[in-house]
Amino acid sequence: MPEQPEPVQLNQAVERVAKRFQIPSQERHIGLEWRTECEGQPGPITIWATEAGVDRVLNNLLSNAVKYTPEGGRVSVALRRTNGDAYVQVSDTGIGIPEEAMPHLFEEFYRAPNAKALEKEGTGLGLTITRDLIAHYDGRITVQSQAGQGTTFTAIWPTMRDA
């Protein structure tokens, strides 16, 4: 039986998942930084979801960022709250996504050509699952990227009032 949604503190989730990627990042000589406290916005940022679902979303976004960022690059995770929405932004200085691949990015089994060339492993399901999980909790995901320049994924969820 699937878990029932409950209040999830994004501050804790971002920190928990980012810490998982400290060692893999260090092994690949990639700088990893995260920010869980929002300037001028003290306290937790809470959404209605499941911890497992949020962890899976963040794990996938961070895993891809680390996997597709070359040695010496950087990955950052930032959390902010704006107008009743929570934004988790995962940015990297990795290989980026070619413009022609952008419309297909969230299709099942799709992998961008440069990603396939760099990493032989992968199912092409991670971003589809990520998008579906975010949508299941009334959120959305955006992506900005340029081949060779890096990528930024932003997961956006409505925050809980009075949480």
DSSP string, 90-136: EEE-S----GGGGGGTTSTT---HHHHHH-S---S-HHHHHHHHHHH
Tell whether 10 is covered by a domain. Answer: yes
Write the pLDDT tens digit of every residue in 93-106: 999 988 888 787 77
Tell whether 163 is covered by a domain. Answer: no
Tell whether 54 is covered by a domain. Answer: yes
| pLDDT at res. 119 | 60
Number of domains in the chain: 1
Write the pLDDT tens digit of every residue in 51-64: 999 999 999 999 99
Tell whether 1 is covered by a domain. Answer: no
Q: Write the CATH number for 125.
A: 3.30.565.10
Tell whether 76 is covered by a domain. Answer: yes
Tell whether 65 is covered by a domain. Answer: yes
Whole-number Å distance between alpha carbons of 128 and 110: 9
Between residues 4 and 112, the one the model is more confident about: 4
Tell whether 94 is covered by a domain. Answer: yes
- pTM (two decimals): 0.88
Residue with tokens 């940015």: 91
| pLDDT at res. 163 | 42
Q: Which domain holds residue 70?
A: 6-158
Residue with tokens 């690949």: 28
Whole-number Å distance between alpha carbons of 5 and 24: 30
**Strand partners of residue 46:** 9
Is pLDDT above 90 for 75? yes
Tell whether 149 is covered by a domain. Answer: yes
Whole-number Å distance between alpha carbons of 65 and 18: 11
